[in-house]
Amino acid sequence: MQKKIAIIGGGIVGATAAYYLSTLPGAQQVKVTLFDDGVGQASKAAAGIISPWLSKRRNQRWYRLAKAGADLYPELIHDAQLGTEVYQQTGTIVTREVPTDLEVLYQLAQKRRQDAATMGEVATLTAAEVQAKVPLLGNVQPGVFISGGARVDGAALVNDLLDRASAKNLTVRHEHVTLTANGQVVTSLGARQFDRVIVSAGAWLKELLAPLGIVADVRAQKGQLIELAVKDYPLQENMPVVMPEGERDFVPFGHGKLIVGATHEDDGKFNLTVDSAVTADLLGSAQRLMPGLTADSLTGVRVGTRAYASDFAPFFGPLPEHDTFLVASGLGSSGLTTGPQIGRLLAGSALYGGTPDWSEYELPLTTYLASSAK
């Protein structure tokens, strides 16, 4: 009998889980249905930098998860046959103005590189060398260059992964669903029972799990970024992404497209309205890096809703006392980095069962999930 699996939420975790559920051994015995209404999804609004190695986070579980996500990307992109418009290892430059700060950053990079081959080459760059690699920049600081750093377009990645899975065993339903107390998925066609359900709905997890008597430690955060039309450098389509000190991330996509952002707006929560003041702030950050930039260069604004737990760490795995369900949330601003690894792990668990030990990546799920009866 064919196993029926539902995925609620088609962001980076849900899309990656769907892809692996269509390619892992035994996938031919599985029928997958993904439900997503397309409202507010952080992944599709995001354009990210895959370069976790210089993070100053003290959470070593998060770092191991992020590093595993960065390691997985080249394999995922190759196996799914995705193009450079989705993901490309262009390198990352992290800038510092003070020479001693730059040296500290370089030493951290050298230390992390010892067990992170994906980082590639590490080098310090003068301001002139930074500008030579990223000729768009007009106001430049020296930096540390990591050749394995990459850029990724969240919407393109999610859409392409779902397309690959849809060619095999996935059906995508663009609708809002809820859960019943006995674990059924309520769709526009009525309540349906699935053998396994992956709930990867980000900040909407709390609402979805409430009927099961579960309270999730999840809050919503609004994020905005801007798209700009800039000078096209035909020979510089592989310009590194830049994480400039004191400014927003600077992500050139080639062909005259530049992404700058993103914001972290706790008060915004689920509000998807473009804020003109925030747009002006993002543009101002871009102008400090490119002094000749004007408002006429603005071509679009992306808005999405991230999910955060109280300790800013992602969590995922089998839902305690509800064997049918697997959950994931709390990815925050590192979702494009950690999401593919989480999706792959959840897909394997949904397909093969068992009690996986993911303690190297996260605290117990009971840290984030509690019974509403307590």
Q: Which domain holds residue 300?
A: 92-148+220-307
| Residues 117 and 17 both lie in one domain | no
Give dist(CA 201, CA 186) in Å, integer: 15
Which residue carries 């609708």 as its tokens? 175
Predicted TM-score (pTM) of the model is 0.95
**303-360, pLDDT tens digit by residue?**
999 999 999 999 999 998 898 999 999 999 999 999 999 999 999 999 999 888 999 9
Give dist(CA 132, CA 240) in Å, integer: 11
Give dist(CA 169, CA 256) in Å, integer: 37
Domain count for the chain, please give it.
Answer: 2
| Residues 164 and 185 both lie in one domain | yes
Which amino acid is residue 103, in one-letter code?
E
| Residues 227 and 268 both lie in one domain | yes
**Considering only 96-105, 200-209, 251-260, 357-366, which range has the smallest mean pLDDT?**
251-260
More confidently predicted of 261 and 42:
261
Which residue, 96, 16, 90, 100, is CA-closest to 54?
96
- 191: in domain: yes
Give Cβ neighbours of residue 232 (< 8 Å, ≥ 6 apart): 254, 255, 256
Half-sphere exposure of 137 (CA within 13 A, CB side): 25
3-class DSSP state of 91: coil
**113-142, pLDDT tens digit by residue?**
999 999 999 999 999 999 999 999 998 999
| Residues 99 and 170 both lie in one domain | no
Contact assessment for residue 330 and residue 191, using Cβ atoms and an 8 Å cutoff: no
